[in-house]
Amino acid sequence: MSNTLSIDGARLWNSLMELGEIGGTEKGGSRRLALTELDHQGRELVCGWMRDAGLTISFDRMGNIFGRRPGRDNSLAPVMTGSHIDTQPSGGKFDGCYGVLAGLEVMRVLKDHAIVTTAPLELAIWTNEEGVRFVPTMMGSGVFSKSIPLDHALAATDANGLTVGDEVKARGFFGDEEPGQHPVGSYYEVHIEQGPVLEANENTIGVVTGVLGQRLMNITVTGQEAHAGPTPMAIRKDALQHSLPLMTEILALGRSHGDSGRATIGQVAVLPGARNTIPGLVKFSVDLRNLDRTVLEEMANKAKMAAAAAQERTGLTFEVDDLQTITPTVFHYANVEMVDAACKSRGYSHQRIVSGAGHDACFISRIAPTSMIFVPCKDGISHNEIEDAAPTDLEAGANVLLDVLLRASA
């Protein structure tokens, strides 16, 4: 494989910075929640770049966007790359966007050099990967891979009662294509690691072999609102007071279930939210992860049992809402080896790594041979406005993607 061809790192960096300005935040991050006007503006910008790079754009009913580059034999299933450009509420410029724009940069380089592959290439932008405004998470790729029913996804509502279906139509990224009708020959996604491993080991590339599984839940605790002054402590039905021990127990699950165990409570609503009213209702999110499917199930069961025991002990109501189960992912050996070979041929320092973060590649790996390419991010920080990455690492990851896409579509 000749490595004479390389991507234009400055062009990639400039596109990342320009996209990052849409929904730009004070500390240099981005806020473009899925299917908001800002997400729409980001999609419009990137679709314009995709057209300029010679791609033909199509959408499916989930608002997933596909940019297609024809090959010599268009009867072949496309080799696909992609990621997401929706962000966390206080997200960074690189999570997801790097994968889309590195894929775009590959298409730009191939156009610059008038290179035609045998199989067609496609660049995908998946709808609502982050699952912040609308649950379930990794929604667009989940529906595309038939892991999430389309109707369930389109009916998902945000805090204001707006549905995904309404918002996809309103933003004009609604296509007639049934999600998943699109053949995929193989899929490669490049992403920042979002953790500390590559930087600590001073490796440029992570050859991703798999992804932790996830169990996402909401727990609602119902007590009784009462006055904070006259109500003695002994007779209170304080939903927050009785939520705290359960939250502590759930977080401890992340530390007691192996190196890949994770437990996070990222959202907590305390109602009615008045300083001098005893909380009658608390609703909180639970995000459990593990590489071992059985252990993940054990963690989820322990969380549910702890909630049931809390209800027994306190007399308050503890309701567990099982939102989403994503089984651990093992990427395809041949695709992983292809990434590894590309790193060796480029002389990039690299290592095998498991992803703690979920990615669209998890779902796409259920319908097509898939692997991922990681690059380090500064201090391993992500889902944070200060998220940062070295231009040289971003360039290296995109070069590996270029080599892998060329090889896979040869």
> x/- string (CB under 6 A) for ligand HGY, residues 93-112?
--------------------
Which residues face 217 on adjacent strands? 286, 322
Among 137, 141, 145, 147, contact with ligand HGY (rule: CB under 6 A): 137
Strand pairing category for 370-375 and 186-192: parallel
Compute how many other C-beta atoms are within 10 angstroms of the C-beta atom of residue 145: 21
The CA-to-CA distance between both ends of the chain, in Å, stands at 11
Stretch 93-122 residues interacting with Mn ion (CB under 5 A): 95-96
Check if the beta carbon of residue 266 is closer than 8 Å to that of residue 208: no
User: Shortest Cβ distance from residue 128 to ligand HGY (Å)?
Assistant: 10
Q: Which does 358 bind (CB under 5 to 8 A by kind): ligand HGY, Mn ion, none?
A: ligand HGY
DSSP letter string over 295-344? Answer: HHHHHHHHHHHHHHHHHHHH-SEEEEEEEEEE--EE--HHHHHHHHHHHH
What is the torsion angle, in degrees rounded to the nearest 10, for the CA atoms of residue 109, residue 115, residue 119 and residue 120?
50
Check if the beta carbon of residue 185 is closer than 8 Å to that of residue 119: yes
Q: Quote the tokens at residue 333.
A: 């050996």
Applying CB under 6 A, the span of 26-34, 129-137, 298-306, 365-373 interacting with ligand HGY comes to 129-137
Using CB under 6 A as the binding rule, whether residue 387 contacts ligand HGY is answered as no
Applying CB under 6 A, the span of 111-119, 125-133, 321-329, 335-343 interacting with ligand HGY comes to 125-133
> x/- string (CB under 6 A) for ligand HGY, residues 339-368?
------------------xx----------
* Residue 209, φ and ψ in degrees, nearest 5: -100, -20
Prior bond of 89 cis (ω within 30°): no
Applying CB under 6 A, the span of 107-115, 128-136, 223-231, 293-301 interacting with ligand HGY comes to 128-136
Judged by CB, which is closer to ligand HGY: 135, or 150? 135
Which residues face 60 on adjacent strands? 177
Stretch 56-85 residues interacting with ligand HGY (CB under 6 A): none
User: Shortest Cβ distance from residue 137 to ligand HGY (Å)?
Assistant: 5
Using CB under 6 A as the binding rule, whether residue 129 contacts ligand HGY is answered as yes
Among 39, 60, 86, 130, contact with ligand HGY (rule: CB under 6 A): 130
Check if the beta carbon of residue 263 is closer than 8 Å to that of residue 250: yes
Using CB under 5 A as the binding rule, whether residue 140 contacts Mn ion is answered as no
User: Shortest Cβ distance from residue 322 to ligand HGY (Å)?
Assistant: 17
Check if the beta carbon of residue 241 is closer than 8 Å to that of residue 315: no
> x/- string (CB under 5 A) for Mn ion, residues 68-97?
---------------------------xx-
Judged by CB, which is closer to ligand HGY: 360, or 395? 360
Judged by CB, which is closer to Mn ion: 96, or 279? 96
Judged by CB, which is closer to ligand HGY: 117, or 382? 382
Sorted by sequence, the CB contacts under 8 Å of residue 163 that are 6+ apart come out as: 154, 155, 156, 157
Judged by CB, which is closer to ligand HGY: 329, or 335? 329
Instruction: Give the DSSP H/E element, type plus range, for residue 351.
Output: strand 350-355
Which residues of this chain interact with ligand HGY, rule CB under 6 A? 129-131, 137, 357-358
